[in-house]
Amino acid sequence: MATAMAGLETGVLAALGMLAYHWLGSIVGGVGICQHLERLSVAVFGRQIYQVSMALAASSGAALLVFWGGVIGAAFALGSRGKWAARRLLLLGPLVALVWYYLAYELWLPHFGRGVYWVAPRRVLVLGHVIFGLLLSLYPRALRRFRTG
């Protein structure tokens, strides 16, 4: 149980780090700060989400990102439970994140999504997922905190 909770915590924090990267990129790139999140929610829920409000579109995009970050973090922790050294996890984390990227943006959203599925330029998305993976590979630290108390 501690392994799954540590992975969930690390996944949520890694998703927040990826979210911060997208926000910083939006500020530097001169686009709307929530544009990536709005596009993500449109890709999943369709354009009718704009009929309610732009804030709902942005907040649902952020919620999707954080939710799936937690799920992937817990799955990563359970899958690598004590089997890998910390250095190998540093390589395995970005690899898992890139697999998530390709499953989401190359397979799932183009076939099952309801809207435009490119949330941001590919280079930005790939780098965001690599950042997510690097942060995800730090889960043994959270696991030590859970076990020590």
pLDDT in tens, 8-55: 999 999 999 998 988 887 778 777 777 777 777 877 777 777 777 777
Predicted local distance difference test score (pLDDT) of residue 119: 64
The secondary structure of residue 83, as a DSSP letter, is T
Number of H helices, E strands in the chain: 7, 0
C-alpha distance from residue 89 to each of 50, 79, 85, 99, 111 (Å): 40, 11, 6, 15, 31
Q: Write down the domain spans for the chain.
A: 2-144
pLDDT in tens, 88-99: 888 899 999 999
Percentage of the chain beyond pLDDT 70 is 93
What is d(CA 19, CA 39) in angstroms, rounded to the nearest whole number?
A: 13
DSSP helix/strand/coil, 43: helix
Predicted local distance difference test score (pLDDT) of residue 118: 65
Q: Calculate mean pLDDT across residues 112-138.
A: 80
Predicted local distance difference test score (pLDDT) of residue 143: 80
Residue with tokens 């501690």: 2
How would residue 61 be classed by pLDDT, with cut points 50, 70 and 90?
Answer: confident
Which tokens hold the place of 45? 């829920």
Residue 9 sits at the vertex; the CA angle it makes with 4 and 14, to the nearest 5 degrees, is 120
**pTM across the whole model:** 0.83
pLDDT in tens, 78-87: 888 767 777 7
Q: Calculate mean pLDDT across residues 66-85.
A: 87
Predicted local distance difference test score (pLDDT) of residue 4: 87
What is d(CA 125, CA 91) in angstroms, rounded to the nearest whole number?
A: 18
Predicted local distance difference test score (pLDDT) of residue 114: 63
Residue 40 sits at the vertex; the CA angle it makes with 37 and 43, to the nearest 5 degrees, is 155
Predicted local distance difference test score (pLDDT) of residue 9: 92
DSSP helix/strand/coil, 42: helix
Residue with tokens 């939006």: 26
Burial of 23 (0-12, 13-18, 19+ CB in 10 A): middle
